[in-house]
């Protein structure tokens, strides 16, 4: 496959991408190499990225643009299909997919607000072909206070995707929750600097099964995860912790849980520095 950065630099129209995106995309899109695909990009501006994708994937790829500015319609003279509409409007997407049908890759480089990103994701999920993907760019806006993004907040795009992580884990029967449509079609979610990717399964997903090997060699042994523990090697920061160590507190006890919470809070402080 061609070098994506070279395709970007050779585009006849202006575009802008963060420097780390090119390597990420080359790794993500390997499975689409030399295949007849439909790619949709939201937020095309002057159209530079549309030329980049067409050059990168080749003539077999159908490249479609979505833009709010009606001026972008002029790019159709260059062989692209352009749809003008508001990505935060569910009705726009319903009409769009009714005309276009299911697609292989959706790249959201639109307005980057919470509502725009979440609406685009949710209205597109059922319109991605098996084995396809949704790529949301510039997800750093989930942590930006300026420019009207109103983040960080519990309604940010990244927080929204965190809820979907739980839904994927429902495929493990130990969670004891019913699978929904997202559990059955989204294979994985990948997080990069400023990019979040939803990978769709090639076939419907079901509950995971616990598989054992060498059953004839199975030996039962004590599970030590909740066993009484000797805390003598734990950090000794206060007299309270010293008392805990002397008592060899059980991991199920209230005092140990208190210590555990403090330790985890310290780790949270460390990663947020």
Condensed to tens digits (0 to 9), the pLDDT of residues 259-271 reads 667 777 777 777 6
Q: What is the pLDDT of residue 102?
A: 98
Condensed to tens digits (0 to 9), the pLDDT of residues 147-185 reads 788 899 999 999 999 999 999 999 999 999 999 999 999
Distance CA(128)–CA(38), nearest Å, equals 10
Condensed to tens digits (0 to 9), the pLDDT of residues 236-260 reads 555 555 555 555 555 556 666 666 6
On the CB side of 1, CA atoms within 13 Å amount to 22
Note the pTM of the prediction, 2 decimals. Answer: 0.85
Whether 201 and 186 have beta carbons less than 8 Å apart is answered as yes
Whether 106 and 122 have beta carbons less than 8 Å apart is answered as no
Whether 63 and 11 have beta carbons less than 8 Å apart is answered as no
Structure tokens at 97: 């997919």
Query: Scanning the structure block, which residue is given the tokens 């202006």?
Result: 14
Condensed to tens digits (0 to 9), the pLDDT of residues 61-95 reads 999 999 999 999 999 999 999 999 999 999 999 99
Whether 167 and 187 have beta carbons less than 8 Å apart is answered as no
Structure tokens at 56: 């990168």
Q: Which domains does the chain have, with CATH numbers?
A: 4-200 (3.40.50.150), 219-271 (no CATH)
Q: What is the pLDDT of residue 215?
A: 79
Q: What is the pLDDT of residue 246?
A: 54
Query: Scanning the structure block, which residue is given the tokens 């396809």?
Result: 132
Given CA atoms 152, 191, 210, 204 in this order, what sign does their dihedral have?
A: positive
Q: What is the pLDDT of residue 213?
A: 87
Count CB atoms within 10 A of the CB of residue 55.
19
Condensed to tens digits (0 to 9), the pLDDT of residues 198-237 reads 999 999 999 999 888 887 877 777 777 766 666 566 665 5
Element (H, E) at 208: none
Q: What is the pLDDT of residue 230?
A: 60
List the beta bridge partners of residue 108. 42, 136
CA angle (202, 205, 211) in 5-degree steps: 115
- Looking at residues 126-145, what average pLDDT do you find? 96
């Amino acid at each position: 496959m061609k070098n994506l950065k070279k395709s970007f630099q050779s585009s006849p129209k202006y575009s802008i991408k963060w420097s780390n995106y090119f390597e990420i995309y080359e790794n993500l899109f390997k499975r689409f190499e030399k295949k007849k695909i439909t790619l949709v990009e939201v937020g095309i501006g002057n159209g530079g990225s549309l030329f980049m994708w067409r050059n990168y994937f080749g003539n077999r790829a159908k490249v479609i643009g979505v833009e709010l500015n009606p001026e972008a319609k002029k790019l159709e003279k260059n062989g692209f299909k352009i749809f003008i509409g508001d990505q935060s409007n569910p009705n726009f997407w319903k009409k769009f997919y009714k005309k276009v049908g299911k697609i292989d890759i959706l790249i959201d480089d639109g307005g980057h607000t919470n509502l725009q990103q979440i609406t685009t994701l949710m209205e597109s999920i059922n319109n991605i072909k098996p084995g396809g993907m949704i790529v949301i760019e510039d997800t750093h806006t989930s942590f930006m206070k300026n420019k009207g993004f109103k983040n960080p907040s519990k309604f940010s795009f990244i927080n929204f995707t965190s809820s979907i992580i739980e839904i994927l884990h429902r495929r493990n029967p130990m969670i004891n929750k019913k699978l929904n449509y997202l559990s059955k079609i989204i294979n994985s979610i990948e997080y990069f600097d400023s990019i979040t990717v939803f990978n769709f399964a090639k076939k419907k997903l079901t509950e995971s099964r616990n598989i054992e090997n060498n059953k004839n060699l199975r030996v039962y042994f004590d599970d030590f995860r909740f066993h009484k523990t000797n805390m003598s090697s734990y950090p000794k920061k206060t007299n309270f912790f010293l008392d805990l160590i002397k008592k060899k507190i059980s991991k199920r006890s209230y005092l140990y849980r208190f210590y555990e919470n403090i330790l985890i809070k310290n780790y949270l402080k460390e990663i947020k520095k």
